[in-house]
Structure 1
């Protein structure tokens, strides 16, 4: 996978190199003021953790690897290898997914940055209204 002319760093590259590449791929420039906080809010990962990972001051734990995978839309197994939790051989044995899994409602809200419960209720209400309208219009066609 590439971002413009920048290929994905190899599995042996520092985790921070990969994270910078992945953030840029999702239009988060980690050097831009406020972007680390924005990504932290959207992903549910503490901003201090995001900062340490980008500075290569720590490796992500398993839960953070999962959260990064969800937020960045990437498979978790390679992240676990990059973070040192699994050997590279684990990727050879990884089963191919039959279909991508959909995020839970909470994961979707987190990725979208909708963290306030009142805002989440408003989004739910809007979705229900739109899907009901869609069903009504579909019945009349």
Structure 2
């Protein structure tokens, strides 16, 4: 029976990879689709998407993955404190710092600023919003995918 550190690392790794795929889809499909619209329509659609995403399964997965990553790193370090713990800790740190925190301190405020812009101004601010939002979203893609891979590699190493 796997220990709590294994279960947490598996959950964090899988969640991080899933979130990375979600962010990737936004960068490579959703934003391109919105760009095919008039700027004011693309901006309005993004505002609506940003209203719906927190009401979806995204939010529980977002927070549970962060908690799992934190728990996995703490549990593995406490129980083992070896080289594999560094791998799991690095994966957790990538997810927590570059994916979780960047969402809270950069992407969400950008979303809120777009939502606060008047309907007449949204089209005008779309290009700047899009550039800045994509920059941070692409960081989330890379951090989530790399963090998830490190967590799963650490889990596999722990099991072997």
Q: Indicate the structure whose relative CO is greater, using CA pairs within 8 Å and at least 6 residues apart.
A: 2
TM-score w.r.t. the length of structure 1 is: 0.27
TM-score w.r.t. the length of structure 2 is: 0.25
